[in-house]
Every structure is written in C-alpha cells, then in structure tokens.
Structure 1
Amino acid sequence: MQPLSTSPHAASTPATDPAGPPIVDFQSVTKRFPATGEGAGDFVALSDVDLSIRRGSITGIIGRSGAGKSTLVRLVNGLERPTSGRVVVDGTDVAALDEKGLRAIRRSVGMIFQHFNLLSARTAYGNVALPLEIAGVPAGEIRKRILPLLDLVGLSDRSSLYPAQLSGGQKQRVGIARALATEPKVLLSDEATSALDPETTRQVLALLKQVNADLGLTVLLITHEMQVVREIASHVAVLDKGSIVEEGDTYSVFSRPAHETTRAFLEGVTGVRLPAFVTSRMESEAAAGRSAVVKVVFTGPTATDPVLAHLGRDLGIDVNILAGAVDEISGKPFGTLVVAIDREVLEPARRFIEARGLTCEVMGYVR
C-alpha cells in the first residue's frame, strides 16, 4: 500500500482541530421507531444524544447489540431522520435536506459495511467505480480516481477479479476503496471488521489508520469490539440503551473508565485476571493478619517508572506481585498490576503510589 499524498483530497482536508467546529455534531438527538406489537410503546433507539466528532479524528462508537450504534450512524448519511434534535454534518442539518440535498451529503459521507455489500457481477474495479458512474462522472475521470484508490488499498493487481475470487479482507479493501471514490469528508465504518479473522482485522485497521493519516479523513467507527477501538481510535463514545454514558479521548476512557458499562467492556482488553488461588481466598474484611489485594493502574508520564521498586527502597514496604499486564492504548503505555500489601502499611503505600500519578483500588484482603 502506498500513501496517497499527491491526492488533491489530502491537500484540501484540514487536520484534526480540537478548537474548530466538529465535522459531525449530534445535538439532543432522539430517535423513536413505531411499535410493532399491539399495546406496545414506541421503541426508543436513541435518547437525547449529544456528541461531537472532531474533524480528522478516528472516533469509535461502542456498545452492546441493540444499544443504538447502527441507528446513530444511519442518521449521519440521512438513511434515518431523528425524531427530535439535529444531526449536523460539516455545517449542514441533514434532517432538513430534500432528496437532492441527501444525495449530495451521501457523496460526502462514505460507508463501509460488515458484509462488504459488493455486486457479484462486477469486478473490483467495477465495484469501486459504481458510485461515480451513478453520479455521472465521465469514464476517463473515473479511471483517474479509481486506479490510485486500488493502489492505496493494495489491490492494483486484483482490479479485474470478481468478489468470488477475493478473500474476505480483499473484499473489505474493495469496500473501503468504493467508499473513498466520491472523495468523502467522513468515512463511516459499521462493524467493518466483525466478519474478519484477527490477522485480516489488523490489516484492515492499519489501512483505515493510513487512510485517516494520508487523506485527513474523519473516521466514525461503529463496533462492539473494544480491541478495535484500542487499536486505532483517537476518541471513543460508549452507548448504552440509546444514551451516551461516557466519552473522551481513548486513552483517558480506557485507563480510567467511569461507567460500569465501559468497565464491563474493558475487562477482556485492559483487565487483569487474578489466579484462582487468590480469588478463592479473598475476603472483603480488613481483619488482622490479612494483606490488601491492590490493583495499581500505570498511566501517563509515570507509566513506565519503577514505582513499586521505589516503594520498597524508600519506605521499606514489601510488595508481592499477584498478576499483571503491560500494553499500550493509542500508542501510549498502559499497565495494570495486582499486588498484595500488608494491611498495616496500606495507607502510606497508597499515598506513595498515588503521589506519583498512579491509581490504586483495594479489591479485597487475603491471609
């Protein structure tokens, strides 16, 4: 895959600007669907959602099935209209547009799908060219646009193949190239990696990250996979039962989740599993003769500092490491250690650790 640095689209798209207006802005958005059963009330898919998507960002929207993620993304390109509130894309209120206006906004909002949605009777080239043909772009201009896109997604040697001749990852690359053909300002990804194996998922995520960097394109990533968000998203919002329960930059949300839904999602990504010999003996009461089981989260500029070694050296406090994991989120170091500290020296140990910018949580006590 080669960077598309010579594209005029890349030159014309501004980089991420935290101080500038959002490129997508959900303002008090509620979406209800009429009841289907007798006596049932309307189904509320989204409830009073306020969310701003920064220009040039990769923003992950996560939530369980039925949380409202797909409804949210369909509001951006006008496939659904809000029951109340406004969805503003690059200064335009999508719900206020007529059919002509909706066609224009859909050209500026590309979309890739979980199951590719390719036409089996068209080659890779033909699938990518389709939106331009529908828009009436001349064949010569189409070719000038499509060939660099196929090169960008690593399929310049597969342009004449049909979907049945392509792997799942290659099909998704065709889908990405097709979404980019109209030179959109926003790229929507609705569970685009859910049907792919882990290695192919990594390749597709790397491609999305490259597209974001090379074209300055805003990416809105809908997923239930926290690993996907951790891999490439600069920002994240958590949907639960139609409401935004937590949002912020990915590192802050992942390292210090405030809502129980976020914490539940993160258990398999940033959590540390305690061994059975600890959990089977853990108690909630801080009785004499017991040690505190403490989770220490390493984040920020001190994430790689040997704080526990300093604790033993400076205060003479022994620490027994029970479990741990070190990783990175959005390219920044992140670690979690679960340690046992004698109950008698717990408070000075906690003060020492927290004074260095780390967080402590007492999980229980063991003999």
Structure 2
Amino acid sequence: MITFEGVTKRYGDDAKSFTALDGIDMTVSRGAITGIIGRSGAGKSTLIRLVNGLEKASSGRVVVDGTEVGQLNDAGLRGLRREVGMIFQHFNLLSSRTAFDNVALPLEIAGLDNVAIKQKVGPLLELVGLGDKSTRYPSELSGGQKQRVGIARALATSPKLLLSDEATSALDPETTQSILALLRQINAELGLTVLLITHEMEVVKTIASHVAVIDKGRIVEQGPTFDVFTAPKHETTRILLASTLGTTLPEWLHSRLKAEHSVGDRILVRLTFFGATAFQPLTARLVSEIGGDVNILAGAIEEIAGEPFGTLVVSYPAAPEVIERANRFYAATGLSNEVLGYVA
C-alpha cells in the first residue's frame, strides 16, 4: 500500500538545515496494521505526514497505492486525501458541531447531498458504537467517545488507508484498549490498511502485525512485530522495549549480580518461551533434569501480535556439572536461555 524509497526530509536552508528523515526505505503491506515506534523527535510525525502530502519529501519517493505523492498537484492531493483517513492525538473535532455533523463534514466538502450524507453517517456512528450520541457536542463526550467520532469522520470518505497519529496517547489505559479493539475490528471488517505512529510500546504489541523502529530520522529495525519484540537487534529497540517486555529483577537482586562465579554461587538464567516451547511443561522437565534446587525468581506472560510469549528467571547451583546438564537440556528442547549473571 505504501512504499518509501530513499526518503529524506530537511527543514531550513543549507546553512541552518535540520534533517528530520534520512534515507527512509520501508514498505507498508496492504491490509496490515503497521506501527512506527520511536522516541519524541525521532521523525515519526514527519514520516506519516508525507503519506497524505501534508509534508513533501526533500528527496526520494513516497508511493501510495501506485501513486507518487510528491508528483501530485493540488487537485491530485485532494483526491489522495479522500482515500487516506487520519485520526489525531487530540481528536481535532469542531466544538460547534455535533458528533453527526463532525462526521458529515468531509462529505459536505465532497459535495454530497443531505440524503446521501445521512445514509453514510448513521451507519458509521453505529460502527464506532455511538449511534445514540449523534446529537451530542464534543463537550458532552468523553475522550474515548471523541476519538470514536474522529475515527468515524476518518472513515466517512471510504478510504483505503487509515493514518493514526498518536491516537491513544491522550486516553487512559482502559479507553486505549477499547479504541485499539475498534481499530482491529475496522481493519478486519473493512480490509483497511492502518499505519500508526506511537511511542507506546503496548499499543504496537497489542495491535500491529508489523513494526518499524525509527531513531534520529532513520529506520533502524523493522519486521513482524513478534520477531522484533522478542529478538530486538538494535540498541534503540532494546531500550524502548526494556520496560515493556519480559521480567525485571528487583534492585536488591540486580545489584548483587556478578559476571564471574565463585564456588557455591548460583547462576541466574532468563528462559524465554514462544513458538513451539510456549505450551510445553519445560520448567518441570528442567527441574527433573538438573535436580530440585531450582528457584523461580521472576516471571511474565505476554501476548505479542496475538502470539504467546513468556519469560522466567530461574536460579540453580553454578556447579559445572549442573550447568552442563542444563545446557544439554536447552539444546535438546530448543528452549531459549540467557545467562544474567551469578549471585553468592
């Protein structure tokens, strides 16, 4: 649906220019939900604004469904924007218009008559769960309801692509989950391609099938969400995910970790369960293999892009024969493991 080919975006003149995007190469698959994550100022918003022509690339090509955005004139951009819906962090509703009239606005601009508008807006409000709120003004709606109106408005012109610019970051966690569920429903029922930018790792983990990580204007890592989240290769990705996935040791234990072991120490190992190992009783089998002196220190169960993912931190004696038996077990079962260190 979208292709970025060597896209660079600079602001300012040569003497005082700032490069917001630097050689972006990326594709967004048709019908997929793709997330772009990164720190504030990484270039996320600039990237998404190139898709509907709100910004123009300094060099490179942005191609949306076969159309090169940078080559469009004003009329061509208006046509593109009818096919690309957008939802915003702060909703951007007109306070003087009801929910119905906010959704109707792009249809009015497109020149539809009142009968056609009514036939379109009513079902859209029903789709987003606000069929009984059509006469309410934004001041009478909650944050989640306002965002639902914004989503209905973005769908009014029957777009093939939906852009989400930090659409859940102003919402509480429960409301965020309801909005994400709605976006999943829209993606499934309408076959709509969704490109979302966010700094919230939980959002991408919950909804996106594919993800790209942007840092200082460059895509540093991209791929299926499960692969990127469970085996991040770039340091920026690992930092962004540090507080989102896996297990965190308590500080009193973390501070005691040593890189080398002495006689009588215990080894701390993080076990990761996914794919073929997700549903097997491997912890019990590990205890059986190396003996009963195994402690479980921390654990977490996750779901990433609909797939199970779990981690356990265990400790057992750092005796060479015990470690050797454990390593044979890991090799035989394919259980992913990482040595965190040793404690007295």
> TM-score by structure 2 length?
0.96
CA distance in 2, matches of 1:314, 1:284: 25
Residue matched to 1:32: 10
> Partner of 2:269 in structure 1?
294
Question: Is contact 1:272-1:323 (8 Å) kept?
Answer: yes
Distance, in Å, in 2 between the alignment partners of 1:177 and 1:200 is 16
Distance 1:351 1:151 in 2: 57
Alignment of 1:38-187 (within 5 A): 41-187=16-162
* Of 129-138 and 335-344, the range deviating more from structure 2: 335-344
Contact 1:45 1:67 in 2 (8 A): yes
C-alpha distance in structure 2 between counterparts of 1:92 and 1:241, whole Å: 27
Give the counterpart letter for 2:151 in structure 1: I
Q: Which amino acid aligns with 2:281?
A: P
- 1:88 partner letter: V
User: Counterpart of 1:12?
Assistant: none
Partner Cα distance (1:40, 1:299) in 2: 51
Confirm or deny that 1:225 pairs with 2:200: yes
Residue 324 of structure 2 is aligned to residue 358 of structure 1: no
Alignment of 1:224-263 (within 5 A): 224-263=199-238
Residue 354 (structure 1) shift? 4.2
CA distance in 1, matches of 2:17, 2:279: 51
SS of residue paired to 1:294: strand
Aligned mates of 1:318, 1:51 — CA distance in 2: 49
CA distance in 2, matches of 1:100, 1:63: 33
- Give the unaligned 5+ runs of structure 1: 1-22
Partner amino acid, structure 2, of 1:94: V
Letter in 1 for 2:341: G
The alignment covers a number of residue pairs equal to: 342
SS of 2:194's equivalent? strand
- Matched residues in 2 for 1:138 and 1:145: separation? 11
SS at the partner of 2:146? helix
Residue in 2 aligned with 1:197? 172
Q: Give the partner amino acid of 2:12.
A: P
RMSD (CA atoms): 1.5
Letter in 2 for 1:183: S
- Describe the superposition over 1:102-150 as per-residue Cα deviations: whole angstroms up to 9, x where unpaired: 0011111100000000011111010001011111122211111111100
What TM-score results when the alignment is normalised by the length of structure 1?
0.90
1:285 CA displacement: 1.3
Name the SS for the 1:353 alignment partner: helix
Deviations for 1:271-299, whole angstroms, at most 9, x for unmatched residues? Answer: 31112342232111133322221111111
Q: How many Å apart are 1:41 and its aligned residue? A: 3.6
Give 1:231 deviation, angstroms: 1.1
Per-residue CA shift, 1:64-114, capped at 9, x if unaligned? 000000000000000011111111000000001111110011111100000
Change (3 A) 1:332 1:157: same
Matches within 5 A, 1:331-346: 331-343=306-318, 344=320, 345-346=322-323
Amino acid in the other structure paired with 1:103: R
Is there any run of 5+ residues in structure 2 with no aligned partner, and where? none
